[in-house]
Amino acid sequence: MKGNEAIAISAIRNGCDGYFGYPITPQSEVMETLMAEEPWDSTGMVVLQAESETSSINMLYGGASCGKRVMTSSSSPGISLMAEGLSYLAGAELPCLVVNVVRGGPGLGTIQPGQGDYFQACKGGGHGDYKMIVLAPNSAQEMYDFVDLGFELAFKYRNPALILSDGVIGQMMEKVELRPMKPRWTEEEIIKMSPWATTGKTPDRKQNVLTSLALDAAVHEALNHRLIEKYKQMEEEDVRFENYLCEDADHLIVAYGSMARVCENTVDLARKEGIKLGLLRPITLFPYPTKEIQRLVPQLKTIMSVELSAGQMVEDIRLAVNGKIPVNFYGRLGGIVPSPEEVLEAFKKEINK
């Protein structure tokens, strides 16, 4: 199935309670698949086409406030419209899942794939000091698996989680292994697991109020500190990455999502020429595998970030490396995906400078 279809099927099979979305290329298959599957008749999952992305994300705020597993999907311009809502969700500490099947920008850009939303996903996008858990799948299987993982992490931290995919992964058709079904939570389970949720005030507890507003300076600073602690915990406990031929590597490519698939072949080509090249694929973009890069730096001569952007993730690599070795960058834009050979040429040009 297509990566986008895997998202939809996984939502139904992983006990998702509600999907709220708005059509935008290249991810409309997510809602189309859900509407065709009619999960309201099987699992009871709500699927609603909202009037805008602004509404979708605010429907998530409502659904997440109920302690339900709610999600939306969109593509770059739609995620920009959701930025306000994501900031509110993070501020009110509400768990939800957002899928961004990234296209080229800025503006209306192109419907071709891109990775230019890295900053938006990892550095905010909305206002205020907040972070999202960002997962970067590189296959239809990971699109399927990260729905469940995204919900798990979102509820672990009471924080929005975002799957940062791209047009290649969303549209690509691959075999997907379906995991066993997980049921939707009952209201009793929700009350037990998420005692903060607006399930209706009962005499045994105080009212639950879900807000991001705290006008008292000390209260607001304390809220921010609590968020910062949570983000630190994510960095300690939930960094995910994959190494490919790194242990003896002299040089390293760092790439995520569809670019990581291409760069794996680049590593194979380089190895055939006797160049000891390895690949690090960050799976979580926040929290970022900073420590893994720092572990590899002493053995490396150079690192190159390869992205479908003008150079965004490269900044996190440079922060990790802190000037110790050269960090190069190669990127293509406009929806052009470079071949493994093209990346190898770019890599050789840099190391022979």
Q: Does 82 bind another protein (CB under 8 A)?
A: no
Q: Does 90 bind another protein (CB under 8 A)?
A: no
- Going 262 to 267 to 269 to 275, the CA torsion angle's sign is positive
3-state SS, residue 10: helix
Among 212, 224, 243, 299, which residue interacts with another protein (rule: CB under 8 A)?
A: 212
Q: Does 48 bind another protein (CB under 8 A)?
A: yes
The region of 3-11, 85-93, 252-260, 341-349 touching another protein under the rule CB under 8 A is 85-93
Interface with another protein: number of residues (CB under 8 A): 39
How many angstroms separate the CA atoms of 304 and 141, rounded?
27
Q: Which residue has the tokens 């190494």?
A: 243
How many angstroms separate the CA atoms of 318 and 330, rounded?
14
Among 30, 59, 71, 267, which residue interacts with another protein (rule: CB under 8 A)?
A: 59
> Residue 52 gets which letter from DSSP?
S
Q: Does 39 bind another protein (CB under 8 A)?
A: no
Q: Does 177 bind another protein (CB under 8 A)?
A: no
- Going 66 to 165 to 84 to 55, the CA torsion angle's sign is negative
Q: Does 202 bind another protein (CB under 8 A)?
A: yes
Distance from CA of residue 75 to its chain's centroid?
A: 12
Among 2, 3, 16, 20, which residue interacts with another protein (rule: CB under 8 A)?
A: 20
> Residue 299 gets which letter from DSSP?
G
Q: How far is the CB of 95 from another protein (least distance, A)?
A: 14
Q: Contact, 295 vs 239, CB < 8 A? A: no
How many angstroms separate the CA atoms of 83 and 80, rounded?
5
Phi, psi of 255 (to 5 degrees): -155, 150
Q: Does 58 bind another protein (CB under 8 A)?
A: yes
Q: Does 160 bind another protein (CB under 8 A)?
A: no
Among 207, 217, 274, 353, which residue interacts with another protein (rule: CB under 8 A)?
A: 207
Q: Contact, 55 vs 81, CB < 8 A? A: no
Q: Does 213 bind another protein (CB under 8 A)?
A: yes
The region of 28-36, 46-54, 154-162, 275-283 touching another protein under the rule CB under 8 A is 46-54
Residues found near another protein in the complex (CB under 8 A): 17-18, 20, 46, 48, 50-52, 54-56, 58-63, 65-66, 68, 70, 84-85, 88, 92, 187, 198-203, 207-213
